[in-house]
Structure 1
């Protein structure tokens, strides 16, 4: 009775990461999950006791158990140490920029993730890329998409700050070599699939993984609040939306039926979104999973400060390689002229997004003992985690 177990241990305790992995691997199509319903439920007509002895949905779920140590043993032959708690096991660290001006212009930061996908597609290493697009009729609604052309990948280059169950789209995919961009929870789910003695077909279709640093994801109600509550624009009038449009670091931007732009500075988006989080996102133990072939984040360690102080800086991505596959992907993309790289040093203490996650996780672990996912390695502790407002202000004072 696997779904019953999933419901009791993950769904009823608000630990669902909304990754879509459970629906992706269910052999009987008993589960359904979508951007409109990001928590899995039984498909119409399905019975909770129809699972029989199948346990796949709980086997791959990262909601309560991310299984990072087991995945690291398989990938690297060891688990991370305390000093690697928030970075994971690192091979090389770069500052990266897409060489193609179109890719760089479309991206929120340096466009590294998009450049890797485009380069791999051009070289014939993948047939499709799993990215986040927009619902054609409701542009504020994210929609997972298997992009098969350069133009489709570039169109989806922008960051999305809204919960989207990406992995379900991999089920019954006609493509056999897919490059996947995802968040820590989604990459953890993929690795839980690969940890199984007989990995499901979904996992075997994935050619490589690229993960994005994530301080926390947001319910769709947060985006709708920005549009209707802050911009005073009816959803029915929205014809286009980007979370970070225009000059870096970008503004939350909505276009109406008359072609007019309505904007909010990015730093206001950060503060408003805090009202629209799930318990699982707030209690998440990872900024990166450290399990992807390549990890990417904004090259600016404090986008909030850059936005609030109206600073101007060049777009760049922080890029970390972890596996042989990831290093080969980055090297090939650079050799093809699709990615510009320079050696970089990543300082976790300077990253506002990472530190927000670090302080928040400690706070939730102290307030909800036994109810949050376990960290990838024990030992790193904060005696007094800062309140989010206090942390943001302490790290974002004008320099």
Structure 2
């Protein structure tokens, strides 16, 4: 089996998750995902996709098979129950915020992911963190990077609502212990690496995994549409950009060459981005993979409503610890003041992002079974599905 099989079963079926795992593990370095691509390309000369007998690219790909049940059995000794369908297996759930004002101020929400990565670095648990920054020449373009100082991690604290094939950066990483923050598909790919009889070297270097809840990711064209189509700015005039700048929940903010800032409220992003999704993102079965050491989401279950109604609320994160390593890091971060937490139950039914994914996946499972990734539980996705816009409005009405 070769790249031709990955192309047939995943790429041609529009199931590429754009995680970068295939490029990260390719022993011959014949797969790459360039800065203006979201899917892997084979090296010139491999026109038929034949690159040998290695099967690593298909083995680790989460596009069609997320591998969640097998990973859960290895990590937790069991698979999740039907009741755990949308939370996964976890130890404790918290409401959290970064203790350091610089971290809390830089973050989109509570800054838990940034605070935990900084704590892990300062405590000597990791040598570097895999995060998402911005291309210095094209600030609207996301760029995965390995940050090895607290300042570099904090500079990448803002959420990125744009597809980024993070994992391929790990291929040539000069660090032995890496902590990463990623989305469900990226964490699933890492765990599929670890499931192999002989995990690739990349997997052995990842010693800490944090994941962010994801309703669906967005193609870069969505961000470019906001800048050019909504704000009327040529891309060449952009010198800075943040998806959620300013007072919580933040605004999509772009700075031009004159230093002027142009902004759109966050709730408009939610609606605009609906037109810039990939099939794999829309058909994704997971809000969280449930396989990371720690899972994190915005502490506000309905950012859309908060933004549209002009409500004011404290910036916070919802945090679920899953592994002993994740719990130990969180406890240490709390002890040294990096993270401030209170125990709080996470309620899937109140999360707009999670419910959007739940309804969307149930609809795809009903209408396109066999064409989409399978659910982490065997039971049918039994839900009276609502169209996305209808669900958003229903859940965003003021009480």
Q: Distance in 2 between matches of 1:398 and 1:145?
A: 40
Task: Specify the alignment match of 1:298 in structure 2.
Answer: 298
Q: Is the 8 A contact 1:15 1:279 kept in 2?
A: yes
State the partner residue of 2:123. 123
Provide the residue aligned with 1:378 in structure 2.
Answer: 378
Is the partner of 2:41 in helix, strand or coil? strand
- Listed as ranges, the matches of 1:47-58 within 5 Å are 48-58=48-58
In the alignment, the residues of structure 1 paired with residue 187 and residue 364 of structure 2 have an alpha-carbon distance, to the nearest angstrom, of 22
Matches within 5 A, 1:215-234: 215-234=215-234
Partner of 1:11: 11
The 3-state SS of whatever aligns with 1:58 is: helix
Q: What SS is found at the alignment partner of 2:172?
A: coil
Q: Is there any run of 5+ residues in structure 2 with no aligned partner, and where?
A: none
**SS of match in other structure, 1:39:** coil
Report the equivalent of 2:364: 364
Aligned match of 2:282: 282
> Is the Cα–Cα contact under 8 Å of residues 38 and 163 in structure 2 kept in the other structure?
yes
Q: CA deviation at 1:90?
A: 1.1
More deviation, 383-392/283-292? 383-392
Moved more, 365-374 or 109-118: 365-374
Q: Find the counterpart in structure 2 of residue 85 from structure 1.
A: 85
- SS of 2:40 mapped into structure 1: strand
For 1:270 and 1:35, locate their aligned partners in 2 and report how far apart those are by CA, in whole Å: 24
Match of 1:237 in 2: 237
Kept in 1, the 8 Å contact 2:2–2:50? The answer is no
Contact 1:129 1:179 in 2 (8 A): yes
Backbone CA RMSD of aligned residues: 0.9
Instruction: Give 2:108's aligned residue.
Output: 108
Alignment CA distance shift 1:283-1:205 (3 Å): same
Distance in 2 of aligned mates of 1:73 and 1:185: 18
SS in 2 for 1:37: coil
Counting only pairs closer than 5 Å after superposition, residues 297-316 of structure 1 correspond to structure 2 as: 297-316=297-316
Instruction: Note if contact 1:34-1:165 (Cα within 8 Å) is conserved in structure 2.
Output: no
Provide the residue aligned with 2:389 in structure 1.
389
Does the 8 Å contact 1:42/1:48 carry over to 2? Answer: no
- Report if the CA contact (8 A) 1:103-1:115 is conserved: yes
Query: What is the CA-CA distance between 1:378 and the residue it aligns to?
Result: 2.0
Cα distance, 1:368 vs. partner? Answer: 1.1
| Contact 1:82–1:380 (CA under 8 A) maintained in structure 2 | no
Q: How much does 1:193 deviate? A: 0.1
Q: Does structure 2 retain, via aligned residues, the 8 Å contact 1:362–1:385?
A: yes
**Are residue 70 (structure 1) and residue 104 (structure 2) matched?**
no
TM-score (norm. length: structure 1): 0.99
TM-superposed CA distance for 1:35, in Å, is 3.6
Which residue in 2 is equivalent to 1:146?
146
For the Cα contact (< 8 Å) 1:210–1:292, is it kept in 2?
Answer: yes
Query: Structure 2 length as normaliser, TM-score?
Result: 0.99
**CA distance in 2 between partners of 1:173 and 1:235 (Å):** 31
- For the residue of structure 1 that corresponds to 2:59, the secondary structure is helix
Secondary structure, counterpart of 2:331 in structure 1: helix
Matched residue, 1:318: 318
2:162 — aligned with what? 162
Alignment length (residue pairs): 399
Question: Which residue in 2 is equivalent to 1:178?
Answer: 178
1:123 Cα offset (Å):
1.1
Q: Once the 2 structures are TM-superposed, how far is the Cα of residue 50 of structure 1 from its aligned partner?
A: 4.3
Partners of 2:110 and 2:44 in 1: CA distance: 43
CA distance in structure 2 between the aligned counterparts of 1:389 and 1:9, rounded to whole angstroms: 31
Quote the Cα distance in structure 2 between the aligned partners of 1:255 and 1:48. Answer: 45
Aligned equivalents of 2:269, 2:9: Cα separation in 1: 32
CA distance in 2, matches of 1:68, 1:281: 17
Q: Give the C-alpha shift of residue 382 in structure 1.
A: 3.1
